[in-house]
Amino acid sequence: MASWENKSTDPAVQQMLVKAERDSVATVWDRYHDMQPQCKFGEAGLCCRHCLQGPCRIGLRGGKPLLGICGATPDVIVARGLARSIAAGTAGHSGHAKHLAHTLKKLARGQAPDYTVKDKDKLQAVARRLGLFVDGHQEEEVALAVANAALADFHEKDTPVQWVTTVLPKQRVEFFQKHHLLPAGIDHEIAEVMHRTSMGCDADATNTLLGAVRCALADLAGCSMGTDLSDILFGTPVPRGSECNLGVLGPEWVNIAVHGHNPVLSEMIVAVSREMEEEARQAGAERINVVGICCTGNEVLMRHGVPPCTHSVSQEMAFMTGALDAMVVDYQCAQPAVVTTAACTGGTVVTTMEIAKITGAVHVDYSEEKAKANAREIVRLGIKAFRQRQGKATEIPPIKQKVVTGFSVEAIVQALAKLNSDDPLKPLIDQIVAGNIWGICLFAGCNNVKVPQDLNFVTVARRLLKENVLVLATGCGAGALMRHGLLDPASVEESCGAGLKGVLTAIGEANGLNGPLPPVIHIGSCVDNSRGVSLATAVANRLGVDLDKLPVVASAPETMHEKAVSIGTWAVAIGLPTHVGVVPPVLGSQAVAGLLTAGIKDLTGGYFIVETDPEVAAAKILAALGERRTALGLPTER
Amino acid sequence: MASWENKSTDPAVQQMLVKAERDSVATVWDRYHDMQPQCKFGEAGLCCRHCLQGPCRIGLRGGKPLLGICGATPDVIVARGLARSIAAGTAGHSGHAKHLAHTLKKLARGQAPDYTVKDKDKLQAVARRLGLFVDGHQEEEVALAVANAALADFHEKDTPVQWVTTVLPKQRVEFFQKHHLLPAGIDHEIAEVMHRTSMGCDADATNTLLGAVRCALADLAGCSMGTDLSDILFGTPVPRGSECNLGVLGPEWVNIAVHGHNPVLSEMIVAVSREMEEEARQAGAERINVVGICCTGNEVLMRHGVPPCTHSVSQEMAFMTGALDAMVVDYQCAQPAVVTTAACTGGTVVTTMEIAKITGAVHVDYSEEKAKANAREIVRLGIKAFRQRQGKATEIPPIKQKVVTGFSVEAIVQALAKLNSDDPLKPLIDQIVAGNIWGICLFAGCNNVKVPQDLNFVTVARRLLKENVLVLATGCGAGALMRHGLLDPASVEESCGAGLKGVLTAIGEANGLNGPLPPVIHIGSCVDNSRGVSLATAVANRLGVDLDKLPVVASAPETMHEKAVSIGTWAVAIGLPTHVGVVPPVLGSQAVAGLLTAGIKDLTGGYFIVETDPEVAAAKILAALGERRTALGLPTER
């Protein structure tokens, strides 16, 4: 690797990388370097290990591509691999949602006394949306009915998955029904993809991809359910301020990072840490400082203003400061390497979920029945680690950024209602029509070690903001943009075009902020991409059109996880042009690549824009928005 | 490839390979040859494509293995890959079972008029085993209750998967419960494996493998359910004779091969073909000849004596004869290459299931609601193909073997009851105790192009038969053994040791066969490995011991499909020493390989015997049986 800039554009991470090199601590960038060159077959999707006659890798022989031993074509192999990625991604998001459903069910049955229904209005709203009886029923009854409806969405029943059919415009649901794309059950679709992609089953790439699209819509269900149930259990976010980046750690504090995705655990860590300050002080600390990493971080940032210390690819850097006492992991996106980093730099990795242990970590078997007791045990591990590091040097980069966060759809609508209480979406639609908002872009997905950290996010977002695109962000994408100041209202002035600036300022002023909303509207964690869908659906319903008519796009410029592949696929399925800035393993099949980037547009209206150059990507995103504006008859001169 | 013997030990296949070379038709062996050398990383399980930072392949750097970019160790990468294979295999078997459950449900609701309950006793027996009410209820009500219970086993509920808890000895179920190994729901376990194996989740190989074992037990549920529901719908097999190998094709017949796994379709093909002889004669054929390939072939062989023309790795050879008019595929193990073979040699490939299309095949969208109409349409495609091949040369190897088949557990018990009607299992147990039966070996699994076809099966089986091991066989393993005469009672004389010969003859004579049972007892298709479990469970319950005490082993000497990985894993989980003759992709991790071949024995009593040399494998299997005999205090001198 040539320089720190080629690894990360975040100065805090750059400083830690100097320290890592000095201290001979290997990082994800070193492992990436060691892995070069990466397998060209795998990169192209032309590797198959779906049976024990393989592995097969599709090279050329006499200028023509080989076939797999079974006769599978490159198209089939690429499509099957992609489909399995989507199944895995769906399993992640929906496993998270299922966990929340069980938590809500336990709460309703009195088995999880540390949990309460924090947002009673949302519980009622979700229940009503699902067609459940609400009036005259106890809260526990409604909660139980919602939890059971959620769990029922995992298996086949007479009706398709409700967390798809009730979250999209009617036209889109009818379109999916007509094309047999409505998932019958979330786990059912995952299993079916695994079945059809096994040796000797589906050997028609288009057919496989249609099955994968149905599975990806099950992923949308998982995301939507995850958001709904988290809001019910932990409160629907409202705007609030915080700070981010490694500078939020303090040498004299017990620093505990909650890492992973599911707020089920991190909410309890946040709660008990407030009650355990005295224990921390007895250990010599000034206080307990809970910080976030990845989407668990986003969840507690959105609801409590807990500051995220970093995200995604740079998670090891939290330990490199020497000041992180415990990293508490639930599941997904935790690099197993953090155990080694912790061993080098001090600090403890605590795993908590049966499905996500890490060899070398301390495991606390978390259960909702004993939530606070387990959480206290975990916080105590942090306090113990703090004791052990007392007197040792830390190096915390003095870098942090202001963040305004908490923009649930409910909060956005409420903010807009200050402009028009009868028809809150009208001001937004009017500004889109007028061109002061050129379109909407939802940034999502991860960092990826293949991209200098945050470079693509920041480059594309800055260009779009200048062109008056309203930018929403979730997950580690929001993390990237917040580390570069774009969740700070103070940066509106330099980053936004005049039209957008006017809109953000008008909404901010109407809400008594004495200034604008931030340039980037943070709508949550990666399951909260569902909030983007909810907002787009609200706008579409208000206009009476389907989603594929709206000037709305999605972008995952540094995507890494299989979950992101699922999200991108449902984004395309619901009709959005969807940019990815890392090439997925599909280039081994012109048919598959062509279908995803062009052919599918005729079916769903959405399509993938695969573009690794962020400047070019921004231009393509703007062109896609322009095409939508033209089709709607909206002004297209800028 | 050096010689035909290195490809297949079946003379019919050898003859067709000469023809394929002469006609320049590529076969699976050519594609295997072209694929050499195969990727060493993939072979060792040291390749990971579970995120877009990869592909990662774990080579050595300075003599030490690299880590994945995320920090995943070789152990983690190998375990995750194996777990995903098991998830895929489970999805196959259970998808098959789910399809049958839907068929039974449609039947019960009057929506599938071409289906009936063929075995009313089995319906009642299964219902009672599940604790359902039977007496005083209409057949449709009981069928609906069984179908609903089956479908309920796919998702989490308050009780674990019933098709596990009701098919094993009580001790084994309690053991699984204690170790959190009972699956909560079949699809749930598949999804959970996909979740935990995604980037940043489970990074502890042992933990991942325990999750994979739970998923494999969901595969056992799929297999057991598949057997039960097929017996209910299509009849529990009883012994019958037939013939096998390519010689069962006839040049003047409309030859239609049913290929795949699920009898839902093939039963209808068999039924309508009998009604359509006149149409065939009008096309110039003497008759319609339905033959089998792979496990669909086993299903209709067991129940109707439909002759299998070939199995597994040699499926293309059926077309090479020039005499196969239609290959009707449901799902699993159909090489996509058959479409190309058919194009070269004549004949039509007909796909029938939404999840298993093949580009270039004719697709008939099969539904249970229109079963016979669809089946007639398919048979007509065969008749049409016959018309087109009239006058063209065929080359059918004049090779066929006699087969006696149809040994359901019910049939075995009934046959034993002729020796002791009060206690039918006693004669079997007595002979085991006396050493006339040294032990029991269940042969299962596929052919694999890496092994000269049938060599391992036949070598191991012949050795075991000489040593008086009672041999059961399923799936393509049964296919291998039948092609070499071992399902023909006439071969008892030359192939079996004296003790075994005496037992087989005594049972045969008592059942009025005027001779012995065949050396190898064919218990069905690959889901029918459940019949082996049922028999072993009956013996264990009769003795009051758990399965890990019995002198019973399993062997998959030429295994290929991910389903076989699942089967092998549950065989080990229920306590069986389990031989595999093809090295699975686990050698990249000493920890994983050691756990599977040794460490797990302390937990479950079962373990894998990985041995590619069939002579050595036979010796190891005999040693494993001897160890069990010793532990039981049974005579061990031979």
pLDDT in tens, A448-476: 999 999 999 999 999 999 999 999 999 99
**pTM to 2 decimal places:** 0.98
CB-side neighbour CA atoms (13 Å) of A11:
8
Tokens found for residue B447? 């052919």
Cβ under 8 Å to A: B residues 298-337: 331-337
Residue A73 sits at the chain B interface (C-beta within 8 Å): yes
Determine the distance in angstroms separating the CA of A258 from the nearest CA of chain B, rounded to an integer: 14
Summarised one tens digit per residue, pLDDT across range B196-241 is: 999 999 999 999 999 999 999 999 999 999 999 999 999 999 999 9
B269 Cβ partners below 8 Å, 6+ apart? B256, B258, B290, B328, B375, B378, B379
Contacts of B53 in chain A (CB under 8 A): 28, 32, 448-450, 560
Check whether B3 has a pLDDT greater than 80. no
Q: Which of A217, A229, A213, A222 is nearest to A95 (CA)?
A: A222
Asked if A211's CB is within 8 angstroms of B355's CB, the reply is yes
Q: Which of B264, B233, B296 is nearest to B374 (CA)?
A: B264
Check whether A539 has a pLDDT greater than 50. yes
**Residue from B161, B180, B199 to probe the interface with A (highest A Cβ count within 10 Å):** B199
Determine the distance in angstroms separating the CA of B591 from the nearest CA of chain A, rounded to an integer: 12
Cβ under 8 Å to B: A residues 143-162: 151, 154-156
DSSP helix, strand, coil percent of chain B (3-state; round to 5): 55, 15, 35
Of B54, B211, B357, the CB nearest to A204: B357
Check whether A323 has a pLDDT greater than 70. yes
Q: Is the peptide bond before A55 cis (omega within 30 degrees of 0)?
A: yes
**Residue from B46, B84, B154, B195 to probe the interface with A (highest A Cβ count within 10 Å):** B195
How many C-beta atoms lie closer than 10 Å to residue A391's C-beta?
Answer: 6
Question: What is the value of ipTM here, to two decimals?
Answer: 0.98
What are the counts of helices (DSSP H) followed by strands (DSSP E) for chain B? 28, 18
pLDDT at residue B373, as a whole number: 98
Q: Are B161 and B184 in contact (CB under 8 A)?
A: yes
Summarised one tens digit per residue, pLDDT across range A72-86 is: 999 999 999 999 999
**Three-class SS of residue A310?**
strand
User: Distances from the Cα of A593 to the Cαs of A451, A614, B614, in angstroms?
Assistant: 21, 20, 45
Residue A54 sits at the chain B interface (C-beta within 8 Å): yes
Reported as a pLDDT band with limits 50, 70 and 90, residue B1 is very low
Residue A223 sits at the chain B interface (C-beta within 8 Å): no
Cα first-last separation, chain B: 40
Summarised one tens digit per residue, pLDDT across range B25-45 is: 999 999 999 999 999 999 999
Length of chain A: 638
Tokens found for residue A412? 């956005």
Q: Kindly state the percentage of chain A with pLDDT values over 70.
A: 99
pLDDT at residue A3, as a whole number: 67
Determine the distance in angstroms separating the CA of A39 from the nearest CA of chain B, rounded to an integer: 6
Check whether A54 has a pLDDT greater than 90. yes
Reported as a pLDDT band with limits 50, 70 and 90, residue A391 is confident
Determine the distance in angstroms separating the CA of A393 from the nearest CA of chain B, rounded to an integer: 26
pLDDT at residue B158, as a whole number: 86
Helix (H) or strand (E) holding B463, with range, is: helix B455-466
Residue A117 sits at the chain B interface (C-beta within 8 Å): no
The whole-angstrom separation of Cα A483 and Cα A467 is: 21
Asked if A198's CB is within 8 angstroms of B66's CB, the reply is no
**Residue from B66, B193, B198, B341 to probe the interface with A (highest A Cβ count within 10 Å):** B198
Q: Which of A168, A208, A178 is nearest to A86 (CA)?
A: A208
Cα dihedral sign for A209, A212, A217, A220?
Answer: negative
Of B52, B195, B582, the CB nearest to A559: B52
Instruction: Write the secondary structure of B18-36 as one string of H (helix), E (strand) and C (coil).
Output: HHHHHCCCCCHHHHHHHCC
Asked if B191's CB is within 8 angstroms of A95's CB, the reply is yes
Helix (H) or strand (E) holding B212, with range, is: helix B205-234
Please give the full DSSP string across A358-374, using - where no structure is assigned.
BTTSEE----GGGHHHH
User: Distances from the Cα of A175 to the Cαs of A547, B75, B354, B611, in angstroms?
Assistant: 11, 45, 19, 53
Determine the distance in angstroms separating the CA of B7 from the nearest CA of chain A, rounded to an integer: 14
Reported as a pLDDT band with limits 50, 70 and 90, residue A1 is very low
Residue A584 sits at the chain B interface (C-beta within 8 Å): yes
Asked if B585's CB is within 8 angstroms of A201's CB, the reply is no
The whole-angstrom separation of Cα A99 and Cα A151 is: 10
Determine the distance in angstroms separating the CA of B86 from the nearest CA of chain A, rounded to an integer: 10
Mean pLDDT of chain A: 97
Of A50, A69, A94, the CB nearest to B31: A69
User: Distances from the Cα of A270 to the Cαs of A267, A299, A375, A401, in angstroms?
Assistant: 5, 11, 9, 21
Q: Kindly state the percentage of chain B with pLDDT values over 70.
A: 99
The whole-angstrom separation of Cα A531 and Cα A410 is: 9
Summarised one tens digit per residue, pLDDT across range A332-386 is: 999 999 999 999 998 999 999 999 999 999 999 999 999 999 999 999 999 999 9
Tokens found for residue B66? 């690299």
Asked if B201's CB is within 8 angstroms of A356's CB, the reply is yes
**Three-class SS of residue B243?**
strand
Mean pLDDT of chain B: 97
Tokens found for residue B322? 């020039």
Asked if B67's CB is within 8 angstroms of A155's CB, the reply is no
- Residue A128 CA to chain centroid, in angstroms? 27
pLDDT at residue B61, as a whole number: 86
| φ/ψ (deg, to 5) at A17 | -70, -35
pLDDT at residue A61, as a whole number: 86
Read off the amino acid at residue B489.
P
Angle between helices A455-466 and A475-483 (to 10 degrees): 80
Q: Are A370 and A217 in contact (CB under 8 A)?
A: no
Asked if A203's CB is within 8 angstroms of B71's CB, the reply is no
Q: Is the peptide bond before B37 cis (omega within 30 degrees of 0)?
A: yes
